[in-house]
Amino acid sequence: MGEGGADDPSGWQADRALRHIVRTIVDYALPPRCPGCGLVVDDDRQFCLSCWSSLTFLDGPACSLCSIPLPAALPGPVTCGACLAAPPPFDGAPSAVAYGPVARTVALRLKYGRRVGHARLMAQLMARPLGKLADAEPVLLVPVPLHRWRLWSRGFNQAALVADELTRLTGIPHDHDLLLRIKATKALRGQGRRERERIVAGAFALGNGAKERAAGRHLVLIDDVHASGATLRAAARALRRSGAARVSALSWARVFPDALMTSNIFDFARVDSDMMDERMTG
């Protein structure tokens, strides 16, 4: 090879040194900041100690169907009373963290602040519960779709961005076109459970060739926030018609009644994946 070629150690060492210098300059001018509070941190997509400590990771015992946390681990799969009375249309719905101030900030900054890099951060913490969902059937990630009008106004689907990052991290494929949102729905804020279910009924349909692509697979719905669950249940019902072996759901954050502050204006419906009135910038 000629001087400075691919096999010349001095060439790649110089290149590495240059990259380090450029990174140092960029970090000095635009230092990485905590996605939860904005404090300067050491690296991109890294929480400060305070925000990291405030996150509640949902890796304890949970219902085998809806994944709501249970007070103690019991032998074998355990189903909660609510799922025994009315089984959900999915086989597990884990989330990475409980919904709280930091998880909310990350989700809203992705969705409305256009901090698309937060999708990678969310995927990094969602990869572990995704690994627990993996089983004998090949897994296919299916982001909860937006209606074309919502997609046009926002410019991107945050669930699709997270699914892309999960594929990059885990190698598990995704399919953006397996599930379609064919009905524009109004915000679920302030609606009761029956009304929420009525609003999203018939909102989803299978895409062209979905049955062939879903056959024998474990489909995992991907979304940012699991609140009332109305949207995820409607989407899962549509996926059930594909003939898939299993249907599950995976989200970044899960809302629980005791996670809501009494002074908070949010309720289950408002922070669901149809949340549209809340805005965050900065």
CATH code, 162: 3.40.50
Q: Looking at the predicted structure, is the pLDDT value of residue 29 above 60?
A: no
Query: What is the CB neighbour count within 10 angstroms for residue 90?
Result: 25
Q: Is residue 248 part of a domain?
A: yes
Q: How many domains does the chain have?
A: 1
Q: Is residue 215 part of a domain?
A: yes
Q: From 88, 89, 70, select the one nearest 80 (Cα to Cα).
A: 70
- Return d(Cα 238, Cα 203) in angstroms, integer: 9
Q: Is residue 184 part of a domain?
A: yes
Where in the sequence is the domain holding 193, given as residue range(s)?
Answer: 55-259
Q: Is residue 106 part of a domain?
A: yes
Which whole number is the average pLDDT over 217-233?
Answer: 94
- Return d(Cα 28, Cα 240) in angstroms, integer: 51
Is 94:58 a contact under the CB 8 Å cutoff? yes
Determine the pLDDT at residue 75. 78
Q: Is residue 40 part of a domain?
A: no
Q: Is residue 186 part of a domain?
A: yes
Which whole number is the average pLDDT over 248-266?
Answer: 68
Q: Read off the pLDDT of residues 95-117 as tens digits, 9 standing for 90 and up.
A: 999 999 999 999 999 998 889 99
- Return d(Cα 32, Cα 10) in angstroms, integer: 30
Q: Is residue 33 part of a domain?
A: no
Determine the pLDDT at residue 271. 46
Residue 248: strand pairing partners: 220
Q: From 67, 63, 102, select the one nearest 80 (Cα to Cα).
A: 63
Determine the pLDDT at residue 173. 96
Q: Is residue 143 part of a domain?
A: yes
Nearest-5° angle of CA 217, CA 221, CA 225? Answer: 165
Of 18-27, 164-173, 194-203, least confident by mean pLDDT is 18-27
Which residue spans within 41-185 are E strands per DSSP?
95-98, 139-143, 179-181
Determine the pLDDT at residue 253. 96
Query: What is the CB neighbour count within 10 angstroms for residue 49?
Result: 10
User: Using the 8-state DSSP alphabet, how is residue 71 labeled?
Assistant: S
Which whole number is the average pLDDT over 215-230?
Answer: 94
Higher pLDDT, 60 or 272: 60
The model's pTM is: 0.81
CA distances from 90 to 138, 223, 266 (A): 16, 14, 25
CA distances from 42 to 36, 62, 181 (A): 14, 34, 40
